[in-house]
Amino acid sequence: MRRLAVKWDDALVDSDGHVTGHDAGATLVRRLLHLSQTPLLIGPGPRRCAGFDLVPLEFVDGDSTVVVNLDVLDSTQVWSTLRERCESPAVMNFQWGPTTSYVDRVPQLAEALSFALFPTFANSERTAQEVREVVARWTVPPVAEKAKVAWVNLGFRVEHVQPRRPTAEPLVLYPAIYLSERKQPRLFLDVVERVRAQVPIRVVMRLHESHLVSELAMRISQKDWVWVGPLTATRVSYWEGLAGTTAFLATATEESYGLEYVEALAAGVIGIFPDAPWARALVPADYPYFWRTPAEAEAMLLRAVTDPDACRAELDQVAGGSFTAWIAAKHDDHSFEHSFVAQLHDWFD
């Protein structure tokens, strides 16, 4: 297989040579860098790091390297830069978020053109379908017909799951690291406040630093029953936190995959979801905890925090055995690694 070079402009490397951060982008970059011998990360360099080299795009050997671009809007520019020094640059998109995030016409068209010109690997079946729809909507049929799109669920490392541990009070997780409108944090707070009026609970919100200092985060942190803080320092502490969490309430209007939800479900956290296609794609067909109204969300969350054992027994019945085992089997990240590498061979070797 060709050497991999990963490009994500927001990637940060610390003084020890590690990609920092626990958000989805940083986690994905680290996972991709582990799929190749002597991988490259595009960025300010050159610099030798922990298991990879940090190099400017101009230093990449386009004849022997595939550039996996997480910034899909500039794939054409990446190709042009590589083309100055090689005959056939190998560039592919990695679409790891919703394709519906652009309001203006120009980025919509640029995104569609990128999907049409370069092979695109998506983080879920739902995202792959959105990619195909964008290409069909904004390009002519002869171009759309040649678009190459593949996908697999990102999944998680199953061996990270830890045994559940009891807590003094039910713990409810805000299952996101951002307070953006798409996540509907105010709706989340409205529902959990109504539940707390009926039973003592504690709420945990682990936020990205850019949202941790927001006005909304500051207001929320004034509630003595809500803990608002930074992301966990290590993956071990992250999974330790999930092992003691009772339930989460999802309120997002749209997700491209939903890794945070999947990891929590695998840890035995009871998930209360909006009745939306992105959520139904994560769980068994008869999953019982989908809400259509805030009142339904309140009732489901109240049951989850007052009788969690019964809720988990119901989930096991839906899964035909162990629900957490069902989640682990469907979302194991080994499937991602195998499918991604196989697709690279198919497209570029």
CATH assignment of the domain containing 293: 3.40.50.2000
Pair 62, 194 in one domain: no
Q: How many domains does the chain have?
A: 2
The 3-state secondary structure of 16-53, one letter per residue: CCCECCCCHHHHHHHHHHCCCCCCEEECCCCEECCCCE
Closest by CA to 127, choosing from 262, 269, 277, is 277
Pair 121, 8 in one domain: yes
Closest by CA to 201, choosing from 137, 272, 266, is 272
Task: List the structure tokens of 342.
Answer: 């196989």
Pair 105, 207 in one domain: no
Contact 58, 82 (CB under 8 A): no
Pair 142, 63 in one domain: yes
Pair 202, 88 in one domain: no
Contact 198, 164 (CB under 8 A): no
Dmax (CA) of the chain: 67
Pair 241, 322 in one domain: yes
Helix or strand or coil: residue 309? Answer: helix
Helices and strands: H and E segment counts in the chain:
15, 14
Domain hosting 318: range is 158-330
Which one-letter amino acid corresponds to residue 249? L
Q: Each residue of 254-286: pLDDT tens digit?
A: 898 888 999 999 999 999 999 999 999 999 999
Phi (first) and psi of residue 240, to 5 degrees: -60, -40
How many of the other CB atoms lie within 10 Å of CB of 255?
25
The dihedral over CA atoms of 214, 217, 219, 221, expressed in degrees to the nearest 10, equals -140
Pair 124, 138 in one domain: yes
Along the 349 residues of the chain, how does pLDDT read in single tens digits?
A: 789 999 999 999 999 999 988 778 888 999 999 998 899 999 998 999 999 999 999 999 999 999 999 999 999 999 999 999 999 999 999 999 888 667 788 888 999 999 999 999 999 888 999 999 999 999 999 999 999 999 998 888 888 899 999 898 999 999 999 999 999 999 999 999 999 999 999 999 999 888 998 999 999 999 999 999 998 877 789 899 999 999 999 999 989 888 899 999 999 999 999 999 999 999 999 999 999 999 999 999 999 999 999 999 999 999 999 999 999 998 887 888 889 999 999 999 8
Pair 20, 135 in one domain: yes
* CATH number of the domain where residue 48 is located: 3.40.50
Phi (first) and psi of residue 213, to 5 degrees: -100, 10
Dihedral sign from CA coordinates of 293, 299, 300, 302: positive
Pair 174, 313 in one domain: yes
Angle of CA points 60, 63, 66, to nearest 5° = 65
What is the C-alpha separation between 15 and 310, in angstroms, rounded? 48
